[in-house]
Structure 1
Amino acid sequence: MNRTIEARFDGYMDIESIRSRVTVRPDPVPDLETLPPMLGAELLAERLKEMYLPSQFSLSFIEEMIGLAYLHNLKVFRSEAEYAGRIFNPPDVEASPICLTGLAGVGKSQTIAALRRAMPPPVELTCDLFEGSIELTSMWYASARGKASGKQLLLDFVHGSGHDGRGGNLAKLLVECRRRANRDGVSTVVMDETQHINTGMGASKVTDILLTMVAIGVPMIFVSNYSLVHKLLRRNSEDKQRLLSEPRIMLPEDPRSQDWAEYIGECMRVSGGRINSGKDEFAAELYRSTFGIKRLAVQLVKLAYIECRAASRNRIEVEDLQKAYRSSAYTSSAKEVEELQLQVINKGTHGAHLDLCCPFDLPVEFKSNVVSFNRADRDQRVQTRVFDSSATETERSLLREIAKPEEKTPTKATRRKPLPVATDEELTLAFHQYMESQSPSSNLKKPR
């Protein structure tokens, strides 16, 4: 139909190209020592939040969503007649939505932000249907925070965020949204933070809002925590089939994966060398204390930096992570981490904390890896506790002495004190004493 249309997605579906467009590596944070501990910790946390290294799941998800958008783009612009028909007589179709779900803080919104960076940018289209040109947009994005109905979301798409809330009935708004979505080449609709429309509302209202968005007819993604999905699963089968048939479950990082190792390495780099620990030891302790949830990882590193400054140090030790884990600021998060670990070890929950329980069956690989890590960690802690309890007080004190860090000796050699300068009299006396010591002994026999 048009070279602009044909080349719109060129180079945007290659996974390495996606990786380069979405990766964010901020500069290391400088001069934290010049700030008070609380301000320095806040600055460190803000810099850690800026970084984004896409995991294998995120890359695959973004690649899949761009592929679906490309297919919808081909359908809309199949021909000029097809394009015109979709504008002047928009078809009444529904798209099967993708439900991106996972634990709170696992990185769903960051993945959606990365998807927005990875999608093709707006382009100008000129054709015989219009005077001048129009701007093609790859994605419509909406946050459900503060929205009470599907009508409000449709008004945002039609009139922008500055509308006064009035704009006709829902049916007319829906037709206008379909028309504009086809005209502007919208290939994906994303609704983020859908758990916020759950507050104070029943599942029927949430379902109505989601089905309104689905009725636009564009491939749709809605992002939700587990708590909302559990409510949707109690709906009638027709609603569940339309909303939950395409789940994408974003899990915490595997403790032994390359993605988690790279994330820890990037945290250490962004901190500007303020983590004084081996990478493997730090990665294991951070995973043990956060269950691999990156929002909690940032919070714990922030609290650990406060602990290290309180100990008159500028670099975070593993013991600072342990103190931060037991701090009052991390108490609620620590309880959630322990609940998640118990769920994995006990193979499920008994109805409590459904917001921490995945409503879908998890892959066997994830269960086995996390279980083995937690069980190995638990066994190691039990062995350490048994050994410590069986030792005498003298043996414990010796072990503590051995565990203390060695004192560093100065590498520069100390200079000797210069010898005093001898006087002339001292030199003369020393000479005579030397000569006397060299004189022949009196008891030697004279030669014949």
Structure 2
Amino acid sequence: MNEIIENRFNSCLYPEQIRAQITVRPEPLIALSDIDSRMAAELLAQALKQIFVPNEFTIAFIQEMAGRAALHSRLLFSSEVNYASRIYDPPESEVVPVCLTGLAGVGKSQTIAALRKVLPAPCDLTCNHYHGSVSLVSHWYASARGKASGKGLLSDFITGGRVPSQINVAQLLIECRRRANRDGVSLVVLEETQHINTGLGAAKVTDILLSMAAIGPPMIFVSNYSLVHKLLRRNSEDKQRLLSDPRIMLPDEPGSADWIAYIDECIRVSNGSIRVGRDELATEIYRCTFGIKRFAVQLLKQAYIECRNAGRQDIALPDITRAYRSAAYTISANEVEQLQTLALSNWKSTTHLDLQCPFELPAAVKSNVVQFARTERQSRVSAKVFDSALTEGERAAKKQLQASIKEEVELVKPSRRPPVAKVTEEEQAKAFFDYIDGGKVSPKPD
């Protein structure tokens, strides 16, 4: 219809443009050592949470979703006649939504926030059917947290959340279609679907998702594994309509360029508060977090508290080990160990569905994670076997060597002077006269 409409999505269709827009590199922290340890740890955690170095999955996902939105926009604005007809007589259409799923804390919400940052900002459209102009928006976004029905979610888009009592869901859906076509909405995003009024059955969740998909534009709904497992128990027609187009967001692979880039950024932002080699740090944090970045932030925060408690200002490798075993990290550590156990086993547990991907994963992905977990387990087993094979003397020598290494990274406390041995008066007198006779008395001053 005009150049603005034709080019509105051009800035979000190329990987390098997307990367430049969504990458977030916070400023390095300054003088953490001058602040109380727990307050400094909180500042470190806040800075680490702001880091967003997109991996290949995120870039590809954003490019694909922006491309789908661009295609829908071109169809909607193919001509003024088509645009006007979709407003006055909105067609009934139902799309197959994209299901973005993954472990809790893996970065799904950050990816959606990055997608929304890339999508074009509102712009004005002048048309013969209006007096003045209408503001076009690229997408509609809603959070399903606390919502009890599809009517409540649809109302968010046209009434600002106020649920009209005099309009039923069918009428509300027609109005949403008309409004979406008028405003050029090219993508609908529904986040936190696993929080749809906790306790509601899968039937209600299915009804809400199908209502959103019936608006017309391409749709994304974001969910943890737990909800997807519930939906997989629905009838075939519901599964086909909701779960036929999944996108599985997995943790970065151990040793991958994406994981190393994230660790590099953590080191840079800490500004000297982490004193561990990059490769060693990347391996240790992956072992303790399974590559989940939310866990990585928790672990480094607790590790900083541990290093300050030890009287130091920077994180060393033993601090990460102590943080992993701390009370504050217990819940996360349990999940990491369960994930490692599930990765090594060939069977699916029925008690930890929230940690198990409901879809079949590529063999290459599973082999990389399994190989890392097996290598880690084998190293621990080898260390245990080696320790049990040592003789008493060798074990004592090993402990002495470990103690000497530990002194290099921990604060060395001043040792107490040994107590003076008790001697008799005769021994004291003899020692005194021996000292005099040895000529060690200082000369008298002039």
Length-normalised TM-score, structure 1: 0.88
Cα distance per residue 1:391-410 (max 9 Å; x no partner):
234333433444434869xx
- Residues 255, 282 of structure 2: 8 Å contact kept: no
- Residues 90, 174 of structure 2: 8 Å contact kept: yes
The residue number in structure 1 matching 2:46 is: 46
Q: 1:242-257 to 2 correspondence within 5 Å?
A: 242-257=241-256
- Residues 90, 178 of structure 1: 8 Å contact kept: yes
- Paired with 2:106 and 2:197, the residues of 1 have a C-alpha distance of 19
How large is the Cα RMSD of the aligned pairs?
1.5
Deviation at 1:338, TM superposition (A): 0.8
Task: For 2:206, give the aligned amino acid.
Answer: T
Deviation at 1:301, TM superposition (A): 0.7
- Residues 299, 329 of structure 2: 8 Å contact kept: yes
Deviation at 1:279, TM superposition (A): 0.6
Q: Residues 397 and 364 from structure 1, CA distance in 2 versus in 1: closer, same or farther, beyond 3 angstroms?
A: same
- Paired with 1:23 and 1:246, the residues of 2 have a C-alpha distance of 27
**SS, match of residue 12 in structure 2:** coil
- Paired with 1:31 and 1:165, the residues of 2 have a C-alpha distance of 54
Task: For 1:284, give the aligned amino acid.
Answer: T
Range with bigger deviation, 288-297 or 126-135? 126-135
**SS, match of residue 196 in structure 2:** helix
Structure 1, unpaired ranges of 5+: 409-448
- Residues 198, 228 of structure 1: 8 Å contact kept: no
**SS, match of residue 135 in structure 2:** strand
- Residues 100, 221 of structure 2: 8 Å contact kept: yes
Range with bigger deviation, 303-312 or 346-355? 346-355
Range with bigger deviation, 374-383 or 76-85? 374-383
1:101 and 2:73 correspond: no
The residue number in structure 2 matching 1:423 is: none
Task: For 2:319, give the aligned amino acid.
Answer: D
Task: For 1:207, give the aligned amino acid.
Answer: T
1:179 and 2:174 correspond: no
- Residues 105, 295 of structure 2: 8 Å contact kept: yes
Cα distance per residue 1:247-276 (max 9 Å; x no partner):
000011100210000001111111111111
Q: 1:33-182 to 2 correspondence within 5 Å?
A: 33-161=33-161, 163=162, 166=165, 168-182=167-181
The residue number in structure 1 matching 2:235 is: 236
1:355 and 2:354 correspond: yes
Cα distance per residue 1:218-262 (max 9 Å; x no partner):
100000000000000000111000000000000111002100000
Q: Residues 25 and 348 from structure 1, CA distance in 2 versus in 1: closer, same or farther, beyond 3 angstroms?
A: farther
The residue number in structure 1 matching 2:316 is: 317
- Paired with 1:407 and 1:341, the residues of 2 have a C-alpha distance of 32
The residue number in structure 1 matching 2:385 is: 386
- Structure exhibiting the larger radius of gyration computed from Cα positions: 1
Range with bigger deviation, 163-172 or 14-23? 163-172
- Residues 147, 197 of structure 2: 8 Å contact kept: no
- Residues 344, 371 of structure 1: 8 Å contact kept: yes
Structure 2, unpaired ranges of 5+: 410-446
- Paired with 2:363 and 2:328, the residues of 1 have a C-alpha distance of 34
**SS, match of residue 11 in structure 2:** coil
Task: For 1:57, give the aligned amino acid.
Answer: F
- Paired with 1:392 and 1:311, the residues of 2 have a C-alpha distance of 32
Task: For 1:23, give the aligned amino acid.
Answer: T
Cα distance per residue 1:55-113 (max 9 Å; x no partner):
10011000000010011011101111000000010001011100000001110000000
**SS, match of residue 101 in structure 1:** strand
**SS, match of residue 124 in structure 2:** strand
- Residues 198, 206 of structure 1: 8 Å contact kept: no
- Paired with 1:99 and 1:12, the residues of 2 have a C-alpha distance of 21
Deviation at 1:164, TM superposition (A): 5.7
The residue number in structure 2 matching 1:202 is: 201
Range with bigger deviation, 388-397 or 81-90? 388-397
Deviation at 1:129, TM superposition (A): 1.5
Count residues in correspondence.
407
- Paired with 1:309 and 1:56, the residues of 2 have a C-alpha distance of 36
Deviation at 1:361, TM superposition (A): 0.2
Task: For 2:88, give the aligned amino acid.
Answer: F
Deviation at 1:142, TM superposition (A): 0.3
Task: For 1:19, give the aligned amino acid.
Answer: R
- Paired with 1:7 and 1:253, the residues of 2 have a C-alpha distance of 34
Length-normalised TM-score, structure 2: 0.89
The residue number in structure 2 matching 1:412 is: none
The residue number in structure 2 matching 1:285 is: 284
The residue number in structure 2 matching 1:296 is: 295
The residue number in structure 2 matching 1:213 is: 212
**SS, match of residue 298 in structure 1:** helix
- Paired with 2:197 and 2:318, the residues of 1 have a C-alpha distance of 40
The residue number in structure 1 matching 2:13 is: 13
- Paired with 1:319 and 1:198, the residues of 2 have a C-alpha distance of 42
- Paired with 2:107 and 2:120, the residues of 1 have a C-alpha distance of 22
**SS, match of residue 11 in structure 1:** helix
- Paired with 2:197 and 2:289, the residues of 1 have a C-alpha distance of 26
Q: Residues 88 and 33 from structure 1, CA distance in 2 versus in 1: closer, same or farther, beyond 3 angstroms?
A: same
- Paired with 2:164 and 2:348, the residues of 1 have a C-alpha distance of 43
The residue number in structure 1 matching 2:336 is: 337
- Paired with 2:155 and 2:31, the residues of 1 have a C-alpha distance of 47
1:266 and 2:260 correspond: no
- Paired with 1:395 and 1:182, the residues of 2 have a C-alpha distance of 78
- Residues 145, 197 of structure 2: 8 Å contact kept: no
- Paired with 2:225 and 2:391, the residues of 1 have a C-alpha distance of 49
- Paired with 2:12 and 2:360, the residues of 1 have a C-alpha distance of 32
Cα distance per residue 1:101-126 (max 9 Å; x no partner):
00011100000000001111111111
- Residues 24, 51 of structure 2: 8 Å contact kept: yes
- Residues 152, 165 of structure 1: 8 Å contact kept: no
**SS, match of residue 90 in structure 1:** coil
Q: Residues 167 and 102 from structure 1, CA distance in 2 versus in 1: closer, same or farther, beyond 3 angstroms?
A: farther
Deviation at 1:167, TM superposition (A): 5.6
Range with bigger deviation, 250-259 or 24-33? 24-33
- Paired with 2:375 and 2:334, the residues of 1 have a C-alpha distance of 20
